[in-house]
Every structure is written in C-alpha cells, then in structure tokens.
Amino acid sequence: MTKPFRVEEDILKLTKAFRERKAGPKCLYQLLEDEGIKIERSALITHIPDQGACIVGRIVDQDFNLISFDIDFEGNWDVDYSKWRKIKRINEWNSQEIKGDWWWKESPGLTRPKPNNPIYIAIKIIKNEAQHIA
C-alpha cells in the first residue's frame, strides 16, 4: 500500500534543508540574501535539481512574496552543491507579492485556498513562527 502524499510534511522537510543551507550551493544563498530574503524566516515549497547543474524552485519569503526561480550553475552533473561554484545564468527570477485572493491564479473559482496548497502551507508556517517570535 502506498503512503498518501503529504504536502505539509514535504514542505517542512524542504524548508528545514533550505534553512540549514543544504538545498543549494553557497552562491544561491548569497543571491537570496542579496535580494533581501531572510533564509531563516522563509519557506521552500518547490525544489527540483534539474538537468545538470541547475535548480528550479519556489520560495515564500518573510514578507509573503512568492519567488520562482530557475538558475544554472557552473559545475558538473552531480547534485553535489559544493562543486557548483558560481551562478552561470538566471533563466527565471519572478517575485510577486502574495495578497488578496492569491489562490485564484492557481485555482480560479475557489473561494479560499485548498488546505494542501503549498503557498498556503508556507504562509501558515511563517505566520506560526512569527507568533512564537513576537
């Protein structure tokens, strides 16, 4: 019997690896910090090591922006981030504020986000953590 897909568990695992700086090379984290993203207060919701030295991902940051990216790195085909020295090319970098009825973009017609929506889960994680900090 197959284990049911658990979106929240997957996002918590991705976010943990992201915050421990294990989800990419140092140059990716430097880029994110240069863009004002606070790693320790953001959530990684999509992480796909693509063909070669490339990562496609989505992050919800501390200010509730959704950042989608596709970045090529100089390095080999191994997913060994220590060998990916610098960014070769940014194929996509899209940042948009999550506000209002944001879920309509992904699921038109819904009156609220689905509980297993990755963006909704990330927002919930970040808000819960912020309450514990305050």
Q: Which DSSP string do the residues of 1-63 spell out, in sequence order?
A: -PPPP-HHHHHHHHHHHHHTT-SS-HHHHHHHHHTT--GGG-EEEEEEE-SSSEEEEEEE-TT
Domain ranges for the chain, please list them. 7-133
Going residue by residue through the chain, which has 134 residues, state the pLDDT in tens, using 9 for 90 and above.
334 458 899 999 999 999 999 999 999 999 999 999 999 999 999 998 767 889 999 999 999 999 999 999 998 777 788 888 899 999 999 999 998 777 767 677 777 788 888 999 999 999 988 777 65
Over residues 18-56, the pLDDT tens digits come to 999 999 999 999 999 999 999 999 999 999 876 788 999
Supply the pLDDT for residue 3. 41
The full DSSP string for 52-100 is SSEEEEEEE-TTSEEEEEEEEESS-SS--GGG--SEEEEEEEEEEE--S
pTM here is: 0.86
CA distance 71 to 73: 7
- The 8-class DSSP code of residue 106 comes to T
